[in-house]
Chain A
């Protein structure tokens, strides 16, 4: 049962990545392609975060009692979720919003020049 739950998770992440890939390749509208790119990015981010999750682990913030200078109790590694994928994915999310802004700006530039956001109409006008 446990392995089926684990496999279900990974298969859903792969399914999300493939939805994003399909949208980027097969959709006609440019903004739909940008949405597909965003879906792909968030699917990869959820995959990374799932690697860092641990069973019965709490959030990666060391909770000490009120006031500083608490006695240094032994910090159990298995008690906290792995912070390293979280850090990398923070960078990834922020970079993805920058990429989204530039992609939408390019879409606007294309619309200004060709007066259409559909890929086949733009390719007709290019010929």
Chain B
């Protein structure tokens, strides 16, 4: 809550946001967007939201930038100038933005102060979460316990949404039959991509450690910032690193399309399966305390902790598979023959 740091980082964020939408080159816009995401992550760490900052660093500043690069690789890089109706579109955009901004600022006068201890958001349910999480679930990380146990339904459907997004990308882009492929101009490629020794060597050395770190993040979600999503995205990013530094076909050899969809399925299945197992044991859906009947030598409180670990593993598997699948589909335009 250091207000000097807040103000300076916020100013930089606004400058980055202006720059992202104003530059005439899509690659530069993607890179500035990566810087914008990273500054956001810094801001959230300063506000005390470490889990959110971790997710934004891995997802926003990592995977999103790579997805933008992949999309620009398959389409064009230049931003054209609008031929007709330029003033009209800018006027409509400006008027709409100003009106909405004015309404929001009028509404903002009633907001509680920044950092106030008694905001309505902190008064009703969240004191129960803060004081009871160690007592109910023996997990010190409040965000993980609320995410995976108290609000477990939200997280289950969020995993299903990720899986559906992967399916949607496959449905939009995938071209299986040869005659289905219409004539698209070739991607923006400078050279054929010769094998570079330094990059390949360093990538080969780094990828096992990145994956080990991702597994560490998943396993330590209970005691430190982390959890299923962050670990899954870092695992997916390690495979994207392999695809960029080596050939695209190398990753296809390891994680082909069938395995991607299968692992995405298995991830959601683990999550819903644990919930269903609790149902079979006689409690509500996703009530992990009943798992103490199945797991040896755990009481009801530790069973909730172990149940949370189980669903975090499911989430990590699903997110990893879907991130790899979305990247592979976008960078090869669905044809799976060559990529970045």
Contacts and interface: CB of A to CB of B under 8 A. Distances in A.
Contact of B155 (A75, A91, A108): A91
Interface in B112-166: 112-117, 119, 121-122, 125-127, 129-131, 133-135, 138, 140-143, 146-147, 151, 154-155, 158, 161-162, 164-166
B186 interface: no
Interface stretch (B210-218, B223-231, B271-279, B281-289): B223-231
Given A26-B92, A94-B319, A101-B67, A118 B56 contact: no
B198 interface: no
B193 interface: no
Contact of B173 (A5, A50, A105, A113): A105
Contact of B1 (A51, A53, A112): A53
A49 B49 contact: yes
Contacts of B122: 52, 54, 77, 82
Interface string B84-96: 1100011011101
Interface in B31-58: 33, 36-37, 40, 43-44, 47-52, 55-56
Given A26-B90, A90-B52, A15 B101 contact: yes
A10 B114 contact: yes
Interface in A49-78: 49-64, 68, 72, 75, 77-78
Given A11-B105, A53-B49, A35 B21 contact: yes
Interface string B301-340: 0000000000000000001001100100110011000000
Contacts of A7: 108
B251 interface: no
A94 to B, nearest CB: 5
A68 to B, nearest CB: 8
Interface of B: 1, 3, 6-7, 10, 13-14, 17-18, 20-21, 26, 29-30, 33, 36-37, 40, 43-44, 47-52, 55-56, 59-60, 63-64, 67-68, 70-72, 74-76, 79-85, 89-90, 92-94, 96-98, 100-101, 104-105, 108, 111-117, 119, 121-122, 125-127, 129-131, 133-135, 138, 140-143, 146-147, 151, 154-155, 158, 161-162, 164-166, 168-169, 172-173, 182, 184-185, 223-225, 229, 233, 319, 322-323, 326, 329-330, 333-334
